Every structure is written in C-alpha cells, then in structure tokens.
C-alpha cells in the first residue's frame, strides 16, 4: 500500500474470494458457480450488434431488466433494484441502513463482516447453534439491522418463510436483509413478504442458479422507499453500474425459465445423491438446500482433504475459521464431476487406513 492511503482503509481485512485458476486444469468445485452453460437464449442475446453498441452507455434505469424481474417476483419495477452482483446490493444495504448496528451470524457469507468493518458499523455476531443452524429467536426484536443468508452459506441450511416473517415482523424499526443467493436450489423465498413489510429487502443474484457469475448481476426486491435508498447510493457512486451485455444476458435468462428450472432441479438432484454417497463414506454432511455440500470427516482434517483433492486436480473451498476448519464446502458440479470427486475421496480416505 502507498503512504497516502487512509489509515482506516489500510487496516481493513479484505474479503478473500475462492481461487479462480486461469488455466482451467481443475475440476472447479470451489466458488458455487453453475455447472452448466447459460441458456441458449442468453448466448444468442449477446450479439455482435450488442457488442457494437458498447460505445454507448448502458441504461442507468435498467428498465427492461427491472420489468422482467418485477414480473418474475410479482412486484412492480419500483420495487426492484439491480446491482453489479448481489455483492453491490449488499454493499449499498450496509451503507444505507446499518449505521445503528447490524446483527448477523458468526458462520455466514464472509462479506457481511467486511462491509460492517468498511463502514465502521457495530456488528453483533450471533453464533450459530451447535448443529450449525441459525437460531431465529436470536434475531427477534434487535433494534438494529438484521442480515440473514437463507439458505445460509456455507452450511446450506434454510429457515422456512414463516420464520423469516417472524423476524421481519419483530424488527419493524430496522431493515431486515435476506440474502437468497441460493434459494432456487430448494429454499423458500421471502420475496412475497416484501409486499406486506416495508422493512424487508430480499437480495437475489444471477450468479448461482442462472449461470451468470461472470456477468455480475444481482438484485433486491423490497418496498419502493427501500429501493429508492439504494438508487440514491447508486446515483452517488456509479449510475451505469450494469454493463450493456450483462443487462441483455440477464433479461434473456429471465425469459429462459424452463431451462433454468430444469437445470436447477438437476443440480438439486445431484446434490442429494452426492450427499448420500458422502454420508455412506463416513462424512457428516449438513442438510444443504443450496448448490454446495458442507462436509466433514473425522479421519481427515478439512485442510488436509482440501490439499489432497487439489493435488488430484479438484478444487473445493476450505475455510480456516476455527469453528468450521474441519469442513469443506464442495460446489455441486455435473454428475460426472461428482463421480470423479467421490472416487477420489474414496481413494484418499482408504489411503488413510
Ligand atoms: C455468491 C454469494 C453472493 C454474491 O453473489 P454475486 O451476485 O456474484 O455478487 C451473495 N451472497 C451469498 C450468500 C453468496 O454465496
């Protein structure tokens, strides 16, 4: 860092993304990307003419995409915000509504604590229960903002919609942000509750269930005043936050619902099968409803399994936080990739005995 950096910023702990090897030699099960390509309509939508139009700025109002998102989630366009990845939506949400503090879990999406530190927000970190589930009672009547990933990451465990509703209802004086990055793989979405409660923002993304991680498109659904707050921050930072090609790709993805419903169901089916096989090999596996598996084996430390798989050309995600350092988070790939994974895990475990 230079000697010019603001000392407070210089001291921040950064979010550490999963590895993105550029040589493509790994079976990549480490960042929860979709194992299938975007829908054919999406690929067809990104035409040479659209590329030629890159000389023009993108639509700062994201009109077409907002209309399609509104139709998809039973809302009006004024109830929808579009961000450069859901990371940007979450960033703006922390900036907008968390001055009075924010409560979130000890084991959850790593960006929440990074944003809290970035904005000097007082974070109340609530430990997950012993079984790594969220205790919803701990999030009631907080008197400060509440942030929940549902399904949670990296456990994949979910809360039902009526539990989310109780949390939202008990915190009428604060924003409740529900991050549904993984909801399409088997969770229960809270978007319909945004019609009833003006303090709920539901955050979604095209990165996980719509095969567009590289396009960077996320969104928030909520009361129109909440959306107006996020727009305010957007117009104070980067009005053209979504590039032209990503706007076109995301809109086409919403038109390809049948394709994604089928592929999301296939990912869920592959997850169930792989979870069963890992349990049969002696792993303790959480009841994940996301596109990843969270697993630990008593015979091998998490870091050792991560390294052994990497040496065999398979990348998974290992976190060094003490509470979960014996786990690995394994993205659900294609059935073939999962077979290779499980064959390799069998060899590694057998080699220990
Ligand atoms: C991946 C992920 C995100 C970020 O997704 P982008 O839309 O790619 O920025 C947000 N929240 C959770 C819980 C995630 O796992």
Cis peptide before 154 (omega within 30 of 0): yes
**Domain 40-255 CATH (choose: 3.40.50.1100, 3.40.640.10, 3.30.365.10, 3.40.228.10):** 3.40.640.10
Distance between Cα 65 and ligand 1 center (Å): 19
Residue ranges lining ligand 1, Cβ < 6 Å: 32, 85-87, 109, 149, 153, 179, 181, 205, 207-208, 213, 218
Contact 211, 37 (CB under 8 A): yes
| pLDDT tens readout for residues 306-330 | 999 999 999 999 999 999 999 999 9
pLDDT of residue 23: 77
* Domain 18-37+258-350, CATH number (from 3.90.1150.10, 3.40.50.720, 3.50.50.60, 3.90.320.10): 3.90.1150.10
User: How far apart are the C-alpha atoms of 302 and 278, rounded to whole Å?
Assistant: 14
Identify the residue whose C-alpha is closest to ligand 1 atom 11.
Answer: 181
- 205 CA closest ligand 1 atom index: 7
Q: Could you tell me the distance, in angstroms and rounded to a whole number, from the CA of residue 58 to the centre of ligand 1?
A: 23
Distances from the Cα of 79 to the Cα of 113, 179, 220, angstroms: 27, 16, 8
Q: Which residues of the chain have pLDDT under 70?
A: 353
CATH 3.40.640.10 boundaries in the chain: 40-255
Distance from Cα 205 to the centre of ligand 1, integer Å: 7
pLDDT recorded at residue 264: 97
What φ, ψ does residue 21 adopt, rounded to 5°? -60, 135
Q: How far is the CA of 162 from the centre of ligand 1 (A)?
A: 23
Tokens of 71: 């139709």
Q: What spacing in Å lies between the alpha carbon of 276 and ligand 1's midpoint?
A: 26
Q: What is the pLDDT of residue 18?
A: 86
> Which atom in ligand 1 lies closest to the alpha carbon of residue 108?
13
Q: What's residue 254's pLDDT?
A: 98
Region(s) of the chain under CATH 3.90.1150.10: 18-37+258-350
Residue 164 confidence (pLDDT): 98
Ligand 1 atom showing the smallest separation from residue 88 Cα: 9
The residue assigned the tokens 């390799």 is: 344
Tell me phi and psi for residue 153, to 5 degrees. -120, 140
């Amino acid at each position: 860092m230079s000697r010019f950096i603001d000392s407070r910023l210089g001291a921040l702990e950064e979010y550490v993304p999963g590895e993105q090897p550029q040589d493509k030699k790994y079976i990549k099960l480490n960042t929860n990307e979709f194992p299938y390509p975007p829908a054919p309509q999406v690929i067809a939508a990104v035409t040479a003419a659209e590329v030629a139009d890159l000389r023009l700025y993108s639509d700062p109002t994201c009109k077409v995409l907002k209309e399609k998102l509104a139709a998809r989630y039973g809302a009006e366009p004024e109830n929808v915000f579009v961000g450069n990845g859901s990371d940007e939506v979450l960033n703006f949400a922390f900036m907008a509504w968390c001055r009075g503090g924010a409560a979130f879990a000890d084991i959850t999406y790593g960006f929440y604590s990074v944003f809290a530190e970035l904005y000097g927000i007082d974070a109340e970190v609530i430990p997950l229960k012993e079984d790594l589930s969220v205790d919803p009672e701990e999030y009631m009547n907080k008197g400060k903002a509440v942030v929940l990933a549902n399904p949670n990451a990296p456990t994949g465990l979910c809360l039902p919609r009526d539990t989310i509703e109780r949390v939202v209802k008990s915190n009428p004086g604060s924003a409740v942000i529900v991050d549904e990055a993984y909801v399409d793989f088997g969770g229960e979405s809270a978007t319909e509750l945004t019609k009833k409660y003006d303090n709920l923002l539901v955050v979604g993304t095209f990165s996980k269930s719509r095969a567009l991680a590289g396009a960077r498109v996320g969104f928030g659904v909520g009361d129109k005043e909440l959306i107006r707050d996020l727009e305010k921050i957007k117009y104070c930072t980067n009005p053209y936050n979504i590039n032209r090609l990503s706007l076109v790709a995301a809109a086409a993805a919403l038109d390809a619902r049948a394709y994604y419903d089928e592929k999301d169901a296939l990912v869920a089916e592959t997850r169930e099968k792989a979870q069963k096989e890992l349990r049969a090999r002696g792993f303790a596996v959480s009841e994940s409803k996301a596109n990843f598996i969270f697993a630990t084996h008593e015979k091998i430390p998490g870091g050792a399994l991560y390294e052994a798989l990497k040496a065999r050309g398979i990348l998974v995600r290992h976190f060094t936080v003490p509470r979960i350092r014996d786990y690995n988070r394994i993205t659900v790939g294609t059935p073939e990739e999962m077979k290779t994974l499980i064959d390799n895990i069998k060899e590694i475990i057998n080699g220990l005995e």
